A = this chain, B = another copy of it.
Amino acid sequence: MKHLTIDELTGLLTRILAAHGAAPGVAEVLAQRCAACERDGAISHGVFRIPGIARTLAAGDVHGELRHEVEDPAPGVLRADAKGGFAQPVFEALRPRFVQKVRDTGIAVLAIRNAHHTSALWPDVEPLAEEGMIALAAVNCFACSLPFGAKSPVFGTNPFGFSAPRADGPPITFDMATTAMSHGDIQLAARDGRAVPEETGTGRDGLPTTDPQVILDGGALLPFGGHKGAAISMMVELLCAGLGGGALSLETGSSSHEGVFPSITGLTVIAIDSRHSAGGSFAQRAADLVHLMEDAGISRLPGQKRHDARATAAAHGIPLTDETWLSLLALEDGRRGS
């Protein structure tokens, strides 16, 4: 087992992505997100994703430069066409302008289309909450989810994320696939030979299965919470494809590269300046709510597991198995020598 600091891991991932075709600023943003996910124990968006991203970059399915065009149609609205690049570097490039809009109008929406979103959503919203904003984010992606009554997949895993400032602790954050399980977690379960819970997905034959590989081999995921989760998934489509102007999940292809699905879709973020909450008391009220949740015995506060993993990583480093560590070195060296 190897233990790396966040800076060491970010540096290594930056070099790998740059070696496979990402421009310097792009490689660094992707590496930061990926390293943060690994550090926080969100491993389905951690280094596990790096080989696939590298292959996709090398194949040119997603380009590695920042080529986006910005549209500014209203005081509280910002849009961008990412032109087939990664969503996160575009988001980072637009963040100061977006935050200024939130400060100026009290609420603003950012919609990025034609973008490949490679990471979790919490790294998009949590930094906004750290700056005092209440933030919602949504991404649609290739169709793999079979909602109520459908005979073929309609929605993507269409994650929905939320983060809000809290007076006496880190932001309170959730980040959920609107499918019963995220696609990355299905892939991890398949890799590790673990069954997934009932009502997670179906096989190619439309029948329920707990075998993740059967789900991946032409099957489909199910929405979380039945038709209610499917409705939230539909809202994600409308906020991303409808508002931002990108592809619907059903209109985007998925890559033939093993383990990677470069959906060229949309990222939409809504942020509200918490200074405009009644009495400016938002962060304290969020803290009050968390205390009431704790008093009621809630054992799983949203984001708690991530923050625990983050503290452990700060003390002892980010753990990587020897196999993962060697594969990352090979990925760095392989391209360097090619």
Contact = CB atoms under 8 A, between A and B. Distances in A.
Contacts of A276: 73-74, 77, 79
A232 interface: yes
B245 A277 contact: yes
Given A107-B107, A243-B277, A277-B245, A225 B235 contact: no
Contacts of A242: 134, 164, 274, 277, 281-282, 285-286, 289
A292 B233 CA distance: 14
B104 A107 contact: no
Contacts of A298: 147-150, 154
Interface residues of A, number: 75
A297 B245 contact: no
Given A224-B225, A238-B134, A231 B75 contact: no
A75 B237 CA distance: 28
Given A229-B228, A231-B174, A281 B245 contact: yes
Nearest to A77: B106
A172 interface: yes
Interface string A212-253: 000000000000111111011011011101111110101000
A179 B273 CA distance: 28
A105 B106 CA distance: 10
A210 B276 CA distance: 43
A300 interface: yes
B234 A289 contact: yes
Nearest to A108: B107
A75 B235 contact: no
Contacts of A289: 234, 237-238, 241-242, 248
26 contacts: A74-B105, A74-B273, A76-B76, A77-B273, A105-B107, A106-B108, A107-B107, A107-B108, A111-B277, A134-B239, A136-B235, A148-B299, A150-B293, A150-B297, A152-B296, A225-B228, A225-B229, A228-B229, A234-B302, A241-B285, A241-B289, A243-B282, A245-B278, A245-B281, A246-B278, A248-B292
Given A77-B273, A148-B300, A154-B292, 7 more contacts: A75-B106, A149-B299, A224-B228, A241-B289, A242-B277, A245-B279, A248-B292
